[in-house]
Amino acid sequence: MAQQAQAIHVPATRAAGGAPAWLVSLATIFRYLILFAFALIFLAPFIFAIANSFKTAPQIAQDALNLIPNPFTLENYLKLTRGAANVPLWTFNSLLFAGVVTVGRVFLCSLAGYALARISFPGRNIVFLAVLATMMIPGVVLLIPRFIILKQMNLLATYPGGILPILVDAFGIFLMKQFFESLPGEVEEAARIDGATPFQIFWRVSLPMATAPLIALTIFAFQGTWNELQHFLIALGPTARDLWPLTLGLATLRGAGVGQQLDFGLFLAGSILMTLPMALIFIVFQRYFVESSSHSAVKG
Amino acid sequence: MKKQILYATAALLVAILAVTACGGGTTPTAAPPPTTATQPTTAPEATTAPATTAPQATTAPSGSATKLQLLGWSSSDAENNLLNTIVDQFNKSQTQYTASFDPSPNYDQALQTALAGGAPPDVFYVDSLKFPDLMKNNVLATPPANAIQDPDDFYPSLKAAFTANGTFYCPPKDFSTLALIYNKKMLDAAGVKPPTTWDELKAAAEKLTDSSKGVYGLALSADAARWVAFLYQAGGTVLDANGKMNIDTPEAKVALDYYTGLLAAGYAVTPDKVDSGWNGEAFGKEKVAMVVEGNWMVPFLKSDFPNVEYDIAELPAGPKGKATMAFTVCYGVPKNGAHLDGSWQFVNALTNKQGMKEWTDLGLAMPTRKSLRDGWVQKFPNLKVFLDGADYSHPWQFGPGFTVVTDAINKGIQEIAAGQATSESVLKTVQKAGEDVLAQ
């Protein structure tokens, strides 16, 4: 911490152009204090969740704010593997859904976005507006129609039924279209003169330039699917427990929403388990994301 | 330039998404009513009848039998397991049907979608508060003759909760009532006996309150499901005999003034004032000496606050005598169910005398059949007060769409406690809200 502060201190002095050194270091300390405070605010819920997931029920009830579990217990985590809970299978399902949907969205949304941005065909604007319009409809309104459609297609409580309705989304198309429109057209023209087909131009020229929005889209899609509850509840239903993703499975740990029956320890253990992979993926991707974004910024 | 803006926007969106995702948890609602339950039927008993299937008799029943789905919500592990055991017994008792219990998250939404989408479960939980809504939408099947074993054996108030236009639609699987739960040590230390009237309750709460130590006599949440018990004790009602909204009455004012008066005087607190999520938690933390809660407190205190010594007394009588609330859930069968015959067999297996006995032998759910009362009380003498409540209880049920009205009551109690409203204005608002809902 002190070293970091020092490192920042040096260029800061130069930038400040003659401000007294003590004032600059004071400002630095102050800045770090603020950062530290905010980091604490954001991290605190996770820290408490982790601490409490290792406590017994009476301890949580009486001393939820204590960060040291005493006695320390793994019981909450072990309970996740017993009884009606099938956490390994639910985790697999979550990964499957999130993985397929992410690949599908990245591919299909960029295709659609490219078509809407670069290929002119009659009714293009109307199609784009129709896509946008689906973003204006609250998701709840679609639940029952979606259920009926899935029922008619015999897709209720199947993997395809869980995946297909969310395989493409309007936001992804919108994001990709906006991006492709911002690319300089000359590069594509050059490719076209060289005899590339529209798909080749898309695949070989435009898409490689789109790493930043693609990574954003990946994070969105993965994280959105990983956390999705309502859609899976309707598409998979309460019977198909073997197809459930973690969100549905862990929601049953809450019981009937009757507050007094909530097993906090178990619930927190499940939440931690569910948050961890997401947090890891986000941290990894965020690095790529920042890199690629700053990289192109320099070029641009 | 345009590009940077786009990147920045994308980055921002991702960040927002990440943050909101972290906050997506649902908070547990405080103190709803019904506990758990489903009832188990034990043995097959009379249900089997001559229904054995012809062709598949030799093969394993699971392969050929018709599937029955019981949609409900999840309770404690102990209860889920017991219910599954009882469902298994039903499956072994006959070869025609294979039933399964499917607890669902977001129960109301799951049920609504299944009903509206034309693929209803074969049997499902119906909360007494929601029963009028289901009647209004005409989704429940009328039971065929003799589908429900000995219907007069059910407590009249519970039976009435699931009766409409003279038809008893679905047998209640179990129920819960409210009682006064008190901390023995705190009452002994203050030399207070468990109160039996409103005046005694107020005096006891005053004596037990020591605000310098942050300890109060009573926890009273801003919750219609608690206050309505006081309303009945004062002789008031929510609906009159004709089903018209009738809450703007002198009796209701007495009840509301008493309830909010305890809060205003500082002898009672809402649980949030003592850093608790609901009344039970405040009681477990020994911040309050008494609470008005139901039998769900027993397993809760056992698991979360095993060292608190408590006892249970009837709710103190009001100016017009004793009253308590009964929260109950029945097994409904949908009108357009695909296997009505099987559904009713299954429901009967769960709620006939033997099935209900097995279901309630855990001591968490209370039997809704009078004939099981003595045996149960013998087994769980400490819970007798809750079961006795059945004699003077009012079902937690009003009209269709009444969650709007109960919300208005909750809000009203809060506003009065905060000094932002008077009991007259709140009762007028609630009366109006109820009239509007009933007019729809």
Verify that A147 and A235 share a domain, yes or no.
yes
Distance in Å, alpha carbon of A193 to nearest chain B alpha carbon: 25
Tell me, what amino acid is at A135?
Answer: M
Identify whether residues A150 and A33 lie together within a single domain. Answer: no
Asked if A65 and A104 sit in the same domain, the reply is no
Fold of the domain spanning B179-326+399-439:
D-Maltodextrin-Binding Protein; domain 2 (3.40.190)
Instruction: Examine the pLDDT at A259 and tell me if it is beyond 60.
Output: no
- Verify that A125 and A271 share a domain, yes or no: yes
Together in a domain, A171 and A249: yes
Question: Span B156-179, mean pLDDT?
Answer: 94
Q: What per-residue confidence (pLDDT) applies to B41?
A: 34
Residue B292 predicted with pLDDT over 50: yes
Residues A103-148 pLDDT 10s:
999 999 999 999 999 998 999 999 999 999 999 988 888 888 999 9
Q: Are residues A32 and A65 located together in one domain of the fold?
A: yes
Residue with the bigger pLDDT between B309 and B8: it is: B309
Burial string for A1-20 (b: 16+ CB within 10 Å, else e) reads eeeeeeeeeeebbeeeeeee
State phi, psi for B102 to the nearest 5 degrees: -115, 95
Positive/negative CA dihedral, B321, B325, B331, B335: positive
Chosen for mutation from A152, A260, A271, A280 (greatest number of chain B CBs closer than 10 Å) is: A260
Q: Could you tell me the CATH number of the domain that includes residue A145?
A: 1.10.3720.10
User: What's the fold here for domain B45-176+327-395?
Assistant: D-Maltodextrin-Binding Protein; domain 2 (3.40.190)
Average pLDDT on B1-15 reads 46
Same domain, A152 and A62: no
Question: How does strand B66-72 pair with strand B123-127?
Answer: parallel
For residue B293, give the chain A residue with the closest CA: A260
Let me know if residue A81 belongs to a domain: no
Residue B127: phi, psi to the nearest 5? -75, 140
pLDDT at B199 over 50: yes
Burial class (CB in 10 A: 0-12, 13-18, 19+), A66: middle
Residue A68, domain member (yes or no): yes
* Any B CB within 8 A of A222 CB: no
Q: Are B35 and A293 a contacting pair at CB < 8 A? A: no
Q: Specify whether A139 is located in the same domain as A54.
A: no
What's the pLDDT at B120?
A: 93
Whether residue A148 sits in one domain with residue A218: yes
User: Is any Cβ of chain B less than 8 angstroms from the Cβ of A193?
Assistant: no
CB distance from B166 to chain A under 8 Å?
A: no
Q: Distances from the Cα of B325 to the Cαs of B128, B217, B401, in angstroms?
A: 11, 22, 19
The gap from C-alpha A153 to its chain's centroid, in whole angstroms, comes to 29
Q: What is the per-residue pLDDT for B44?
A: 36
Q: Which residue has the higher pLDDT, B123 or B11?
A: B123
Residues with Cβ within 8 Å of A281's Cβ and at least 6 positions away in sequence, in order, are: A219, A222, A223
CB-CB: which of B6, B80, B284 is closest to A182? B6
Indicate if A67 and A206 belong to the same structural domain: no
Per-residue confidence (pLDDT) for residue B211, from 0 to 100:
87
Least confident among A296-300, B157-161, B421-425: A296-300
Q: What is the 3-state secondary structure (H, E, C) of B199-229?
A: HHHHHHHHHHCEHHHCEEEEECCCCHHHHHH
pLDDT score recorded for residue A279? 84
**Residue B207: pLDDT over 90:** yes
Interface contact A296-B7, CB threshold 8 A: yes
Q: Both ends of chain A: CA-CA distance in Å?
A: 34
Q: How far apart are CA B230 and CA B178, in angstroms?
A: 11
Q: Does residue A131 fall inside a structural domain?
A: yes
pLDDT band at residue B214 using 50, 70 and 90 as cut-offs: very high
Q: Does A219 touch chain B (CB under 8 A)?
A: yes
CA distances from A275 to A263, A270, B82 (A): 18, 9, 32
**Strand ranges, E, within B81-199:** 97-103, 123-127, 163-164, 167-168, 172-183
Sort strands B97-103 and B66-72 into parallel, antiparallel or unpaired. Answer: parallel
The pLDDT value given to residue A298 = 43
Judgement on whether residues A57 and A91 belong to the same structural domain of the protein: no
Q: Which residues of B touch A297 (CB under 8 A)?
A: 3-4, 7
Residue-wise pLDDT tens digits, A36-94: 999 999 999 999 999 999 998 888 888 888 888 888 999 888 888 776 678 889 999 99
| Residue B93 dihedral angles phi and psi, to the nearest 5° | -75, -20
Q: Which chain B positions have a beta carbon within 8 Å of A260's beta carbon?
A: 31, 278, 280, 296-297, 300
Q: What are phi and psi of B420, to 5 degrees?
A: -100, -5
Number of helices and strands in chain B (H, E): 18, 12
117-156 in chain B: CB under 8 A from chain A = 117-119
What number is the average pLDDT over the span B53-76? 67
Residue A51 in domain: yes
Tokens of B165: 């236009």
Q: Chain B within 8 Å of A180 (Cβ-Cβ)?
A: no
Give yes or no for residue B64 having a pLDDT over 80. Answer: no
pLDDT at B74: 82
Among A1-10, A172-181, B176-185, the range scoring the smallest mean pLDDT is: A1-10
In this complex, do B297 and A260 lie within 8 Å of one another by their Cβ atoms?
A: yes
Min Cα separation B364/chain A (Å)? 12
How many domains does one find in chain A?
2
Its pTM stands at 0.79
Residue predicted with more confidence, A41 or A13 = A41
- Average pLDDT, rounded, for chain B: 86
Tell me what pLDDT residue A293 has. 53
Q: Where are the domains of chain B?
A: 45-176+327-395, 179-326+399-439
pLDDT at residue A1, as a whole number: 41
* pLDDT band, residue A289 (cuts 50/70/90): low
Question: Cβ–Cβ of B305/A58 closer than 8 Å?
Answer: yes
Q: Which residue has the tokens 């100016």?
A: B319
**Least Cα separation, residue B113 to chain A (angstroms):** 6
With pLDDT > 70 as the criterion, what percentage of chain A qualifies?
86
CA angle B157–B161–B163, rounded 5-degree value: 110
Q: Name the token pair of B202.
A: 């107020």
Contact B28 A220 (CB under 8 A): no
Neighbours of B313 (CB within 10 A): 15
A190 and A47 assigned to the same domain: no
Stronger pLDDT, B5 or A232, i.e. the higher one: A232
Residue carrying the six token digits 């204090």: A33
Contact state of A216 with B26 under an 8 Å Cβ cutoff = no
Q: What number is the average pLDDT over the span A187-209?
A: 91
Q: Do A255 and B74 touch (CB under 8 A)?
A: yes
What is the CA angle A282-A204-A107, rounded to 5?
Answer: 45
A13-34 mean pLDDT: 79
Which residues is B216 bridged to in the sheet?
Answer: B288
Average pLDDT over residues B33-52: 37
* Structure tokens, B39: 């009832």
pLDDT by residue (tens digit) across A158-169? 999 999 999 999
The H-assigned helical ranges of B126-223 are: 131-136, 156-161, 184-190, 198-208
Range of the domain at A126: 86-299
In a domain, A24, yes or no: yes
Q: Is residue A125, in this structure, part of any structural domain at all? A: yes
Output the pLDDT for position A87: 86
CB contact (8 A) between residue A241 and residue B102: yes
Nearest CA-CA distance, residue B320 and chain A, Å: 31
What number of residues does chain B have? 440
Say which residues have a Cβ less than 8 Å from residue B248's Cβ, sequence separation at least 6. Answer: B427, B428, B430, B431
Contact B7 A212 (CB under 8 A): yes
ipTM (interface predicted TM): 0.72
A·B CB contacts under 8 A: 171
Whether the per-residue pLDDT at B47 is higher than 60: the answer is no
Q: For residues B43 and B395, which has the higher predicted lDDT (pLDDT)?
A: B395
Contact predicate B156/B356, CB 8 Å: no
CB B33 within 8 A of CB B225: yes
Which of B25, B75, B297 is closest, CB to CB, to A256?
B75
Q: What residues contact residue A233 under an 8 Å CB cut-off, 6+ apart? A: A248, B104, B105, B106, B109, B110
Cα–Cα distance measured from residue A94 to residue A81, given in angstroms and rounded to the nearest whole number: 16
- Cα A297 → chain centroid: 24
In a domain, A58, yes or no: yes
Query: Is A138's Cβ below 8 Å from some Cβ in B?
Result: no
At B372, is the pLDDT very low, low, confident or very high (cuts 50, 70, 90)? very high
pLDDT > 90 in chain A, percent: 49
Please indicate, yes or no, if residue A232 is contained in any of the structural domains.
Answer: yes
What distance in Å separates the CA atoms of residue B440 and residue A81, rounded to the nearest whole number? 48
Name the residue of chain A whose CA is nearest to B113's CA: A144
